[in-house]
Amino acid sequence: MDDQEIYGLIGEDGFTRLTAAFYRQIPGDDILGPMYPADDMPGSEERLRDFLIFRFGGPQTYLEKRGHPRLRMRHAPFAIGVAARNRWMEIMTNAMLETALPNEVNAVLWEFFNGTATFMMNRQG
């Protein structure tokens, strides 16, 4: 399956449900919770949703609002080591299971998330 087909299969609703399931887990998490400003949780959720929609074949709202993703630069202020990377993947995997997207969609998303989570690491340990 081509990455750009994902939006056509799950639409904005699929990405909205996925990011909502992800962000419901963040505030109480001891590793990731402190990285997310409590007063900007809705903004964080919106940015991830818009990014994923753009990345997987949907409207380019993210680019129009934020420009090029520059993921490493945007995440540089946060200490992302192995524990944070693994917890992010654990929480996103939980969100994917909760959202119950089609298996072929989950396979593509999981591969993307796994690679990107590793790419975002900027600390040892």
Write down the domain spans for the chain.
Answer: 3-119
Angle at 43 between CA 104 and CA 50, to 5 degrees: 35
Check whether 72 has a pLDDT greater than 70.
no
Give the per-residue pLDDT at 79: 80
Q: What residues contact 73, with CB distance under 8 A and at least 6 apart?
A: none
Average pLDDT over residues 25-52: 93
Q: Considering the entire predicted model, what is its pTM?
A: 0.89
> Position of tokens 């900027």?
122
**Separation between Cα atoms, residue 107 and residue 28, nearest integer Å:** 27
Check whether 27 has a pLDDT greater than 70.
yes
Give the per-residue pLDDT at 109: 97
Mean pLDDT of all residues in the chain?
Answer: 90
Give the per-residue pLDDT at 26: 96
**Separation between Cα atoms, residue 22 and residue 101, nearest integer Å:** 14
The closest of 22, 42, 30 to 90, measured between CA atoms, is: 22
pLDDT in tens, 100-117: 999 999 999 999 999 999
pLDDT in tens, 82-106: 999 999 999 999 999 999 999 999 9
**Separation between Cα atoms, residue 1 and residue 104, nearest integer Å:** 7
Is residue 36 a contact partner of residue 26, using CB atoms and an 8 Å limit? yes
User: How crowded is residue 22: how many other Cβ atoms within 10 Å of its Cβ?
Assistant: 23
Question: Which one is the CATH code of 3-119: 3.30.450.20, 1.10.490.10, 1.10.10.10, 3.30.1330.10?
Answer: 1.10.490.10
Give the per-residue pLDDT at 125: 63
Rounded to 10 degrees, what is the CA torsion of 75, 57, 64, 13? Answer: -90
